[in-house]
Structure 1
């Protein structure tokens, strides 16, 4: 028998012991329970109801409440799939703050705080198994900070269910050029090509799906698949669970590799960060096979197809006619191209990250970045700062600092307590009218102690006082220029009239 016995059984054991004077061994044999269980109830002398363990107080968490609450509050402004899990919070506390408590304590506290903050829990993922040498591919969206700007990027993940290995390519979009370039680079990261790859019915590969389930693929994708010799397999519409492993891996990558938000100087550095995360992840045990994923990956790699000697060049070529001003339409924007005549026809070669404009001899006239390479997401500083107004101490642990200019950051961090709360409230209020750049300029020029004066300075920066230039008078004789008349005679006449 497992678990606690029913109250009637406990009573009967006590009866056999005290009234029938049976031994512990006799009771255990008669009732079919273990000797230890029979002993527990037969000789029990305290039958008071045990109090349930306290779960509302977390003394060991006192020193870390501010950090954890800050992360959870900031998560409310983040995409649902890129929020902290309890495990991720525990890992960060151990790594960044030397937390000595247990994983269970953090889980209890986080569950309590999430309930209070009404944060929805992420949905479970479905696991699927496949033979070695086969892979699944899918896109996921995540946010990062690149060059101080909040950006939204795509991660194309190629996952291998047998070993649980995965590789990531970071790209701005999900178009054909990004998709095929991403697969090419993922094959090179893997050191080979999977025999079969499962995909969604994404538009970069599938033109249409017939009623019979047959798919019409894009010419570009078919050439790519032939070049690398893999067999593409497509999920049935609305049946993403058929490639559940990669969907699980996309969620795992967002929760563990993108929390907190990755910070990089450029896209190249962000790619290196993700590569490092993927390699480090191979060092953990497989979730089901109790073997290091690295060892399983070494076994699986030998089943991959060899990379072709010549890599595939993923680009789109279009013939475009310039307008009367020598301008060409590129990525829905009109661009002036030097060295071409009005109405001349040129070639536009679209790569995933750049555009080449070519003449009739296929000579490159100019190379431009794709229009979406520098796209950023507007940062709502008011929303990010609002939770910090009631918890000003949490500012030191908040990711909002990454979005604040240096003077503004110093303005808030140079004081504590009520003074910091006052300054946070002032910034929130000013952001309703002014841009953060204007606030930064104001803080650069003026003393920061008097916020009421700062507000006046902000107004003057936006509405400077107009002082008219001196009027040039070319008609007044020079002898009268600057002449000051003597008005004392008029004063005497006035006194004389008054006496009358």
Structure 2
């Protein structure tokens, strides 16, 4: 408002505008009917839970990384637990809930959530009624709890877990802990949550652990088997044999042979399956930040049919230098033989082992004539020598 007034050549200060607004609000309240500002104290029966995500920070490999922490609180006992996850998608949400149930060793009777995208599909009508996703409804039916959605823009309806997000951030994650991976951080948070239950409840003056034991009697037992958490989708394959997964290009061996692939997504890994049911690739999801194996056997096998593409293949720069130089020859027939030799070695050795033991492994290769494809034909060099007497011997 102050900036808009300045454009109209207002000469007053910012403080003048603030004082005017304050006086205007007070005068308006005097003319209107008084509003009761008192809050309503809510009671929470045992077995009622609240759920929310909170974004926090940790240090991994000397760098700050964002951690999506799923927190479930039980207002009756004021107990909670927290699970670190790589993303806030459906697979991570359901996996996180499974881990929470295992840590508590029971399932709450009801779980109140806000309008989080992995669980809520849309708001029906004027937004007062939420429609849960099919995956979340199936998960809830399997474990037997009742999902309850907060009203739109009403985070106060799950104020207990909102407070727990801040509690975990400022008590467990400040300063940012140094971690090896998410599993390491998960163990840290599980231990700290367990230790936190030794303190007294802020109102009942009873240890939280005792209240949690009492609350467990009102909750549901864990089923004998876990719910299978995964999603299956179709993915288009480009001419380079790549699909887009988690906003990244992922190379799939023989993927270009098919127009589409079935992608089975778990929270931490994935599988690419052909239309005929063959698993073409199984690996960690890109956002896990873990090294993924390059399918060298399939890549080099495809290059045998098109040896000219070796020089411009984007995978060449990832090969050990001695292997890369070994394939960088102008003779395409010889290049094919060397590719076949490497493919054969990959049945028993990794590409790094081949690079490290290259000269020890060389004699294992031979073509039909019994010669090694890396063997030097010295007669070609002799023909370039001068024919003087000094080289006659």
Normalising by the residue count of structure 1, what TM-score does the alignment of the two structures yield?
0.48
Provide the C-alpha distance between the structure 2 equivalents of 1:193 and 1:136, rounded to a whole number of angstroms: 12
In the alignment, what sits opposite 2:248?
333
- 1:368 Cα deviation from its structure 2 partner: 2.6
Instruction: Report if the CA contact (8 A) 1:317-1:349 is conserved.
Output: yes
Q: Residue in 2 aligned with 1:162?
A: 76
1:153 to 42, 60, 67: 67
Q: Deviations over 1:11-30 (max 9, x none)?
A: xxxxxxxxxxxxxxxxxxxx
Partner of 1:315: 230
8 Å contact 1:128–1:161 — kept in the other structure? no
- Paired residue secondary structure (2:257): coil
Structure 1, unmatched stretches of 5+, are 1-125, 376-500
Q: 1:350 to 1:235 in 2, by over 3 A?
A: same
Relative distance call for 1:344 and 1:168 in structure 2 (3 A) is same
Q: Report the 3-state secondary structure (helix = DSSP H, G, I; strand = E; otherwise coil) of the residue aligned with 2:88.
A: coil
Are residues 212 and 351 of structure 1, via their aligned partners in 2, closer, same or farther at CA, if it must alter by over 3 Å?
closer
Of the candidates 239, 247, 263, which is equivalent to residue 162 of structure 2? Answer: 247
Cα 1:264/1:127, change in 2 over 3 Å: farther
Instruction: Confirm or deny that 1:144 pairs with 2:62.
Output: no
SS of 1:263's equivalent? coil
Report which of the two has the higher share of helix: 1
Match of 2:378 in 1: none
Question: Paired residue for 2:46, among 107, 112, 132?
Answer: 132
How far is the alpha carbon of 1:359 from its aligned partner?
2.5
3-state SS of paired residue (1:157) = strand
Residues 29-53 of structure 1: CA deviation (Å, up to 9, x unaligned): xxxxxxxxxxxxxxxxxxxxxxxxx
Q: TM-score, normalised by structure 2?
A: 0.61
Once residues 257 and 232 of structure 1 are traced to their aligned partners in structure 2, the CA distance between those partners, rounded to angstroms, is 28
Question: Contact 1:228 / 1:307 at 8 angstroms: preserved in 2?
Answer: yes
CA–CA separation in structure 2 for the residues paired with 1:263 and 1:168:
17
Distance in 1 between residues matched to 2:208 and 2:178, nearest whole Å: 27
Match of 2:107 in 1: 193
Alignment correspondent of 2:326: none
2:89 counterpart residue number? 175
Larger strand percent:
2
The 3-state SS of whatever aligns with 2:58 is: strand
Q: Aligned residue pairs: how many?
A: 251
Looking at structure 2, the residues matched to 254 and 129 of structure 1 have their Cα atoms a distance apart, in angstroms, of: 26
Displacement after TM superposition at 1:193 (Å): 0.7
> What's the RMSD between the two structures over aligned residues?
2.0
Cα deviations across residues 233-289 of structure 1 (Å, max 9, x unaligned)?
111111111111111111111111111211111111011001111000001111111
Is the CA contact (8 Å cut-off) linking 1:191 and 1:307 kept in structure 2?
A: yes
- Deviations along 1:379-405, whole A, 9 cap, x unmatched? xxxxxxxxxxxxxxxxxxxxxxxxxxx
